[in-house]
């Protein structure tokens, strides 16, 4: 049985829809199941990223589980570990985890460290796994640009091969349907080309008809601007 977390979010909902289109039964997991789309092929269960009897019960019967990473917060790694402990107790066999491109426990970038630690814990618990190391989501840049009229960050002259969530969701759905073919593999999911932030805002300005700018920041400035 397939289990899908985050079905009220963008990535999880895309994957849920793709699995349903194949006529395959699945279990959908969400913090707020009342907000999830209802499918005849799916059972909706409430769960949070924790290790409680209720979460273990919610995960029972699932063989292969799409674990969409929790929102960035100081407790995220511990939340992931607790949830994985619950998945192990429930008998889940294979974890498909949405990781991050360049995940590394020694990275400067907090996001990279968090995902690398989660990957290591999945291996430690003895799950079979598929790690989807998604690059930055193109949708994320679009949302920020439309909301603020600018994108800020310490990217400098760096380039990024941003990827669309719908593209990564197609990969995730394929793996859920055929987990044995992707057992114990790490996949880097990127867009088709490397772009600088200046090139990204230029393209967004052209497509939206709005003047969108990029504000280059130092790492310190980036931390300060996120506090506002």
- Please report the pLDDT score of residue 224 as a whole number: 72
Contacts of 26 (CB under 8 A, 6+ apart): 1, 2, 3, 4, 16, 19, 20, 41, 42, 43, 176
Q: Write the pLDDT tens digit of every residue in 145-173.
A: 888 898 888 888 889 999 999 999 999 99
Single out the residue of 126, 17, 110 nearest to residue 69, CA to CA.
110
Is the pLDDT at 131 greater than 70? The verdict is yes
User: Distance between CA atoms of 222 and 25, rounded to whole angstroms?
Assistant: 44
Q: What is the mean pLDDT of the chain?
A: 93
* Block residue for tokens 């300005």: 205
For 43, the domain range is 2-227
At residue 227 the predicted structure's pLDDT band, cuts being 50, 70 and 90, is low
Cα–Cα separations (whole angstroms), residue 24 to 29, 106, 168, 182: 16, 40, 19, 19
Q: Write the pLDDT tens digit of every residue in 90-129.
A: 999 999 999 999 998 888 778 889 999 999 999 999 999 9
User: Distance between CA atoms of 161 and 163, rounded to whole angstroms?
Assistant: 6
Is the pLDDT at 76 greater than 80? The verdict is yes
Q: Say if CB 143 and CB 204 are below 8 A apart.
A: no
Least trusted range by pLDDT, from 16-20, 110-114, 176-180: 110-114
What tokens does 14 get? 């895309």
User: Distance between CA atoms of 188 and 131, rounded to whole angstroms?
Assistant: 8
Q: Which long-range contacts (CB under 8 A, 24 or more apart) does 142-146 make?
A: 142/204, 145/201, 145/204, 145/208, 145/210, 145/212, 146/208, 146/210
- Where does the chain show beta strands of DSSP type E? 2-5, 26-30, 42-46, 64-67, 94-100, 128-134, 150-153, 159-160, 185-189, 195-196, 213-216
Number of independent structural domains in the chain: 1
Least trusted range by pLDDT, from 4-8, 33-37, 106-110: 106-110
pLDDT (average), residues 5-26: 97
The CATH number covering residue 62 comes to 3.40.50.720
Single out the residue of 227, 190, 198 nearest to residue 215, CA to CA.
198
């Amino acid at each position: 049985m397939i289990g899908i977390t985050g079905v009220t979010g963008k990535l999880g909902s895309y994957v849920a829809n793709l699995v349903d289109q194949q006529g395959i039964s699945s279990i959908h997991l969400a913090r707020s199941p009342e907000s999830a789309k209802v499918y005849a092929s799916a059972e909706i269960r409430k769960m949070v990223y924790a290790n409680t009897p209720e979460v273990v019960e919610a995960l029972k019967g699932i063989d292969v589980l799409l674990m969409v990473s929790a929102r960035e917060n100081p407790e995220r790694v511990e939340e992931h570990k607790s949830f994985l402990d619950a998945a192990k107790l429930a008998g889940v066999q294979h974890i498909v985890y949405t990781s991050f491109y360049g995940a590394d426990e020694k990275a400067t970038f907090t996001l990279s460290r968090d995902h690398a630690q989660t990957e290591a814990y999945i291996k430690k618990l003895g799950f079979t796994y598929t790690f989807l190391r998604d690059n930055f989501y193109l949708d994320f840049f679009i949302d920020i640009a439309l909301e603020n009229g600018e994108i800020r960050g310490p990217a400098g002259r760096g380039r990024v091969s941003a990827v669309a969530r719908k593209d990564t969701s197609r990969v995730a759905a394929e793996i859920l349907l055929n987990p044995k073919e992707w057992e114990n593999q790490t996949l880097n999911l990127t867009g088709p080309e490397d772009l600088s932030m200046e090139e990204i805002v230029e393209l967004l300005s052209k497509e939206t008809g709005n003047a969108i700018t990029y504000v280059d920041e130092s790492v310190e400035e980036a931390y300060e601007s996120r506090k506002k």
